[in-house]
Structures are given as structure tokens and as C-alpha cells.
Amino acid sequence: MQVFNAPEAEGLRLPFSSAVRVGELLFVSGAIGNRPGTLTLAGGGTAGEARQAMENIGATLKHCGLGFADVVKVTVMLADMSEWAAFNAVYVEYFAPNALPARSAFGCNGLALGARLEIECVARFP
């Protein structure tokens, strides 16, 4: 097992690693739409938080030598399932249209910092 902590997350002293590699798989911890290195959520509602969460995941993937093309599975947690369309509009910008990863989603409440969404993923090393 190899543990990764994105440089932006190190000063926050969070009780988890940014990502963990086991064999050829990278498990990326759930990301909310907080601005890098802070506990402040991005503005712009669901779309703004979704974009920032995807950027946060992208930074972690890059730190580990990967990108969105290496993502094989995504799990999405939404505080309000009626915001599904707003989330999807941002989400699809990060993947090739014919190479979307497998995905699960569910509604939940009580996300960290009052976030509207949290996204985690699994990526594969080539």
C-alpha cells in the first residue's frame, strides 16, 4: 500500500489520505468543492462546487501521475438529488464522451462543511 497526500491538503490535517494505491488501483478519497488548501467551499452553488470538487480530484490524480482518463469508477453523493442535472452538466466535461467511467450516485445529508456534493473515485495505473 502506498499513501498519497496532495500538497494542498497537507496543511489541513484531515483524518484521511488524499489517495491510497493498492496494486494497480488508486482509491481517491471523497472530494468536496472546497478551495485548495482551505475549508471554504467554492461559490456558484452545485455547479461551482462540482467544478471545484472535480478540479480537486484532478489535482490528486495528477499528483499520483494519473488523469481523468485513468478513472474507472466514480461514486457521487448529492445533498439534493434535484441538483442531479446541474452536477452532470459539469461532470461530463472531465471525461471523453465515449469513455465515461462506471458510476454510482445517491442522495445523502450531512456532508462535510455543508457541501452540496462529494465525489470519490477509483483509478487504474497503466
Q: What is the pLDDT of residue 13?
A: 76
Write out the DSSP string of 4-72.
E--HHHHTTT-SS-SEEEETTEEEEEEE-SBPTTSS-B-SSHHHHHHHHHHHHHHHHHHHTT--GGGEE
Would you say residue 10 has pLDDT above 90?
Answer: no
Report the topology of domain 2-124: 60s Ribosomal Protein L30; Chain: A; (3.30.1330)
pLDDT tens, position by position, 86-115: 999 999 999 999 999 999 999 999 999 999
The predicted structure's pLDDT at residue 6: 79
Do the Cβ atoms of 41 and 49 come closer than 8 Å? yes
Which one has a higher pLDDT value, 45 or 9?
45
Mean of per-residue pLDDT scores for the chain? 94
Span 52-70, pLDDT tens digits: 999 999 999 999 999 999 9
121: left (phi over 0), alpha (psi -120 to 50) or beta: beta
Judged against a pLDDT cut of 80, whether residue 14 lies above it is answered with no
